[in-house]
Amino acid sequence: MKQFRTDLHIHTVLSPCGDLEMSPSNIVSLARNRGLDIIGITDHNSTKQCELVWKLGRSSGLTVIPGCEMTSREEVHCLGLFEDFDALRMFQSFLDRHLTLIPNKPLLFGYQLVVDEDENILEEVVNYLGASLDVSIEEIEQKVHELSGIFIPAHIDRPRNSLFSQLGFFPPELKVDSLQISKNSDEVAIRKKFMISDAITLVKFSDAHFSADLGKTYSIFEMEEATFDEIRKALHGADGRKCLIPTPSSL
């Protein structure tokens, strides 16, 4: 087994709250320089910047998993990650059907830009991507799984936009591949506080919106190779694969 430093929750300039320095080229070079092996691109309610990051990653030896950070009707943030671009395109059309349409105000919420590898602006997304989808968290989870994706509720211990802040306790019908906890949280304390079963893997990712945050928070995935299937196995602790949260001293 090998160890892979993995951060599956990263925003680009496409997210309204994503810093303008978070261009695809910059993300890939910073991720490489700071020792990450696998990254996930998860902008708010859009997947439009994933393919370029994936391309740039491929030519520099960085594994990039395309994805999205969705906002459910209950305003819970959750991550969807996909194996290929067919699935991603189908998920994008699901997002297009369900996003609540509110015109973005860039000066208030931030710019939402699709850029090319030289950081030229290709598109400015007009509808606010921080709005919620008009579907429940279960419907989103079912869509992600129907497309053979990975579903991970984001920063579950945060006092806003988290599974527990919005819904009080773990919804009985929800099927998760793991749960993401915030960077400074203690895994044991979180398990106890929210009564999370040991069968569910907890992971830490950066949720980076600024370049300074890239590389500081990750989980170590112990698996055979950097592929989507291996990532899913690691999240489920299958076939000896596993995810480890680095302790502060090992970071």
Query: Which CB atom, from 63 or from 180, has the smaller least distance to another protein?
Result: 180
Minimum gap (Å) between residue 167 Cβ and another protein: 5
Asked whether position 166 contacts another protein by CB under 8 A, the answer is yes
Binds another protein (CB under 8 A): choice among 17, 167, 190, 244: 167
Residue span binding another protein (CB under 8 A) among the ranges 59-67, 87-95, 166-174, 185-193: 166-174
At its nearest, how many Å lie between another protein and the CB of residue 133?
Answer: 14
Cβ contacts of 128 within 8 Å, gap of 6 or more:
16, 102, 103, 104, 105, 109, 112
- Say whether residue 74 binds another protein (CB under 8 A): yes
C-alpha pair distances (Å), 135 with each of 73, 96, 227: 5, 12, 30
**Candidate ranges 1-9, 162-170, 215-223, 239-247; the one touching another protein (CB under 8 A):** 162-170
Cβ neighbour number for residue 175 with a 10 Å cutoff: 11
Q: Quick one: which segment of 88-96, 113-121, 165-173, 175-183 binds another protein (CB under 8 A)?
A: 165-173
CB of 72 to another protein, least distance (A): 9
Question: Do residues 206 and 229 touch, judged by C-beta distance below 8 A?
Answer: no
Nearest CB to another protein, comparing residues 107 and 195: 195
Applying CB under 8 A, the span of 2-10, 158-166, 214-222, 239-247 interacting with another protein comes to 158-166
Neighbouring-strand partners of residue 181: 204
- Rounded Cα distance between 213 and 199, Å, is 30
Two tokens at 220? 């170590």
For residue 201, give the DSSP letter: P
* H/E run at residue 134: none
Sole binder of another protein in the list 120, 168, 195, 198 (CB under 8 A): 168
Residue closer to another protein (CB basis): 130 or 237 = 130
- Give the residue, chosen from 35, 103, 172, 248, that forms a contact with another protein under the rule CB under 8 A: 172
Distance CA 25, CA 52 (A): 9
Q: Which stretch binds another protein (CB under 8 A): 18-26, 92-100, 113-121, 171-179?
A: 171-179
- State the residue for tokens 């001293």: 249
Tell me how far the alpha carbon of residue 103 is from its chain's centroid: 24
Among 73, 89, 145, 191, which residue sits at the site for another protein (rule: CB under 8 A)?
73
Decide if residue 198 touches another protein (CB under 8 A).
Answer: no
Amino acid of residue 57: G
199 and 238 Cβ atoms separated by less than 8 Å: no
- 224 CB burial (10 A radius; 0-12, 13-18, 19+): middle
Residues of this chain that bind another protein (CB under 8 A): 73-74, 136-137, 164-169, 171-173
